[in-house]
Amino acid sequence: MTPNYVEAISDILRGVVSTDMWGRMGWQDVKRRYRRTVFGPFWASLSLAIFSLSIGLVWANLWNMDPKEYLPYLTSGMMVWVLFSAFVTEGCLVFVSSEGLIKQLPVPYSMLICAMLWRNLITFAHNFVVYVPICIYAGLRPTGYMLLAVPGLIALCVNGIWIAIVLGLLCARYRDVQQVVISLLQVSMFVTPIFWSPAQLSGSATFLVDSNMLYHYIEIVRSPLLGKPPSAWSWSMVLIATMLGWGVALFLFSRFRRRVPYWL
């Protein structure tokens, strides 16, 4: 099938600029998920708080680390990991879960992706409520570097779009891909510096950090949240991944976009 780049790019642009539509869709998804609950999306925040405090206090003692240093590191890393992993796992089903809408209306597929990203950014904002008291406990003072978390989040969203396009197409055609992705994420969580620090590695083991794209995605947001500037190497890796990923996404989207309704 001949790639139609004009149609693919038009779909992406129309979807991204439809802020009113995907903004409402994402907000309604959040409300629907937590309908008839007392705390609503704060249940996810409560789970993150319990997990971070229990793991943080225990592992800080196991590794003889100061909890006031380890807890902010762990919590900020988990916040970003939860966000990025949601982009990946929900990106797998972004087309499958909207089967009825895709078959009934000529909606831009990228609008569905933006709604998914917005929904998870709302959850991230709720999780930030957990991070604030931990920063107060640790005596972490606000710095100008914290503002760099904003371009980091924007970069994550830009990458989240191409990731959702690629995985959404693959999962629409091959439903088993989602299970493979989930399994890989579960393993990646422990080989990525979230629970542990890169400083704990030495020698050739530093390869797990330097070449780990997941680490760099996490680091461009986590470092600013900790009041530190992200490394130039992390930003370079993210920019390279962004360009390569969008190249692959545009090729696949331009070639297989019209087949999505038939695969569903």
- Which tens digits make up the pLDDT trace of 25-61? 888 887 777 676 656 666 677 788 788 888 878 877 7
Neighbours of 91 (CB within 10 A): 25
**Cα separation of 207 and 237, whole Å?**
14
pLDDT of residue 189: 87
- Separation CA 226–CA 242 (nearest Å): 24
Q: What is the pLDDT of residue 1?
A: 59
**Taking phi first (over 0 means left), then psi (-120 to 50 degrees means alpha), and beta for anything else, what does residue 130 get?**
alpha
Residue 178 CB neighbour total at 10 angstroms: 19
CA–CA distance, 46 with 32 (Å, rounded to integer): 19
Q: How far apart are CA 257 and CA 9, in angstroms?
A: 11
